[in-house]
Homo-oligomer: A and B are copies of this chain.
Amino acid sequence: MVTPVAHPDASLSPELLTKIDAYWRACNYLAVGMIYLRDNPLLREPLREQHLKQRLLGHWGASPGLSFMYVHLNRIINAYDQPAIFLAGPGHGAPGVLAPIYLEGTYSEVYPNKSEDEEGLRAFFKQFSFPGGIGSHCTPETPGSIHEGGELGYSISHAFGAAFDNPDLLVAVAVGDGEAETGPLATSWHSSKFLNPIRDGAVLPILHLNGYKINNPTLLSRIPNEELASLMRGYGWTPHFVEGDDPMAMHQCMAETLDRCIAEIRGFQQQARESGQASRCHWPMIVLRTPKGWTGPKAVDGKRVEGFWRAHQVPLSGMHDNPGHLEQLEAWMRSYRPEELFDEQGRLRPELKALAPRGEMRMSASPHANGGLLRRALRLPDFRDYAQPISRPGTERAMNTRPLGAMLRDVMARNADNFRVFGPDENTSNKLDAIYEVSKKLWLCDYREEDADGGELSPDGRVLEMLSEHTLEGWYEGYVLTGRHGFFATYEAFVHVIDSMYNQHAKWLSICEDIPWRARISSINLLITSTVWRQDHNGFTHQDPGFLDVVVNKNPEVTRIYLPPDVNTLLSTVNHCLRSRDDINVIVADKQNHLQYLDMDAAIKHCTKGIGIWEWASNDQGGEPDLVMVGCGDIPTKEALAATALLREHFADIRIRFINVVDLFRLQPAGEHPHGLNDADFDSLFTKDRPVIFNFHGYPWLIHRLAYRRTNHRNMHVRGYKEKGNINTPLELAINNEIDRFSLAIDAIDRVPRLQVAGAHVKERLRDMQIECRNYAFEHGVDKPDIDDWTWPY
């Protein structure tokens, strides 16, 4: 391990150096205490077995490095009056973050029983990784955290989300060298290409070369420094190395390096802000190489620990059977000299406490890290102004997402500092391009002459497009977690790329529901478009509506799914979503030209109910129907209506009730989801015993999973996507999966008892029509030109 050469104009006076080291020792002492102790927190008496937790949990390895960063960032905050927040990529090193949060007083303010005294310290130690206590990551219960660090890969993208539109903020982010091997993290370094030095804050990544994962060295710690520096420069950053294991030399080096980084950051910002010219900056980043488990036991039972993978979790265990380990633990804890750090009451000594920033300048008390405090409701236009006029249901067509683009444009215009739109590369393709009238796509890399020709690029664009769903979702989460708003439109099949990010954000929100001091944040609004039923030309790889199956497994308090079938229901849905808080709203709507059904008043009414009978498409008024036909999703609704028309054409006296579902969770029982219908309401819609043909946008089994407890479930026949796709025409794809009008009508005939005899020849005719349609597609490569000119005839 190299000892860094002291910089000639050392930043830290000997006194400050001593204090910073003491503060850091206090952090390390606390980190060890959290992992091991349930009593005797200040070692006022010799350590005995009964002072220890029975189950030793936690990650020591990353903790000292995280505290090291934290205490040095504290100096920067005070020295430069620089507001900052801190994200710990290796969130499992939570003791290294919780310790300085406790020491600066925030923890006790938020959790008064974890007071700044011996009793509070005891409670603080005991609760860590303990039932009824807190988890071993930077969970939502951690003041100042917006990044749990449970699943690895998103620290940098979260950090950038926090920095956008926060020009004065510094977002420091510890990146673990384990995390750095993940794909999402590897591409998120490019985020700096999207940071506008005028209106955005700064992100300072500290790549922590701890050296080891659970059992292995890390890749980036085992390549030459010049290669790593080359990588960082190639990503667009200016790397600074801080390496060593001697604390005093390392404090000096870290302080000097941070001073240099702040100077560089402020230089870039000043230049851009004074000139008014935003350009891409080669922002500074730090490579911090320290031993894993730094200052911990060098060896245990003759096996190397400090600076090795064995330091990853609990370095000394089996204490209950091994008095030697107990002694070693006590020696280790006493090596931090707690008696010098804490006063009689068990409080951090005032001369050390003075090192921490005050009030909201403490990273743990920054309102940015409890973004709901800063959240201002969006100034929304009246969504009814974008309504699609409807003269008669099912007779006109429009592109469902285009008016939404206009609405988002006006949301953007009215909320120019706290609303962003995210998308991989597809806002134009998704017909949302009206947004560009008020804000282009952010672009800070090189420009070419041809960009003037419809490139829609600008250094101050507020639409963020990059071909990484991971990075976009990470930015978006970071943006809402710090109190702002957004909208993310993406390809249905490829939203699976961020399944696990959805899971983790839902878990975060779920825990937040029970944390009273966390203010509510904006929901994540995910528009899923380019959907399965219009991916007939892109083929099988682009057909996957299964994200919904992932969504439904998470806490019902935070999950919402909407499938608006036309323009006005989509506008009404998005208007609701943009106002909602603490949810993840998944909205499924295709971008192509579709039949329109509801005028705005009807749409609002329908969306408010979330599910309902379309009277104009039903003829069971005043009686029980022969059949309930259900559409859920734009294309499935159209095909279900077409099937209804076919049936009424062929069977004059058939009584059909037509239901459309916008809010998918209405199908679940009321006790299972806050949007669930009670059984009486459900039965009054779906009947208790009539056949139900349910045409669904996604995989058909999802409907059974939601509705299996309903009275009439046994009569529910569900159609949906069942992996029957290749290169098809739209109707052919529908036919292959049996969600087409013909298949549905045949299904109906099979299920309505009194049609079963009379219906035989109709079924034959329907099958012939199906074959005709297939043959036409096979011959011409397109559907019959008039097939989709079908409109509701009644």
Contacts and interface: CB of A to CB of B under 8 A. Distances in A.
Interface in A413-431: 425-429
Interface string A174-202: 00001101111111101001000000000
A445 interface: yes
A152 interface: yes
A256 to B, nearest CB: 25
A553 B723 contact: yes
B445 A219 contact: yes
A499 interface: yes
B217 A130 contact: no
A213 interface: yes
Contacts of A443: 216-217
A467 B727 contact: no
Contacts of A54: 780-782
A187 B183 contact: yes
A183 B181 contact: no
Copies of this chain per assembly:
2
Contact of A190 (B92, B219, B713): B219
Interface in A681-708: 699, 701-702, 704-705, 708
A62 to B, nearest CB: 14
A500 B503 contact: no
B183 A303 contact: no
A549 interface: yes
Interface string A482-518: 0000000000011011011001100100110000000
A699 B553 contact: yes
Nearest to A702: B705
B723 A182 contact: no
Nearest to A454: B303
Interface residues of A, number: 126
A191 B646 CA distance: 57
Given A304-B450, A467-B213, A546-B553, A178 B234 contact: no
A613 interface: no
Contacts of A187: 181-183, 185-187
Contacts of A465: 215-216
Nearest to A184: B183
A151 interface: yes
A216 B777 CA distance: 33
A3 interface: no
Interface stretch (A77-85, A263-271, A536-544): A536-544
Interface string A113-155: 0000000000000000111111111010000000010111100
A274 interface: no
Contacts of A307: 450
Given A55-B781, A541-B150, A549-B549, A134 B500 contact: no
A320 B219 CA distance: 56
B541 A148 contact: yes
Nearest to A223: B445
Interface string A691-734: 00000000101101100100001100000000100111100100
5 contacts: A55-B781, A151-B494, A183-B186, A222-B447, A231-B233
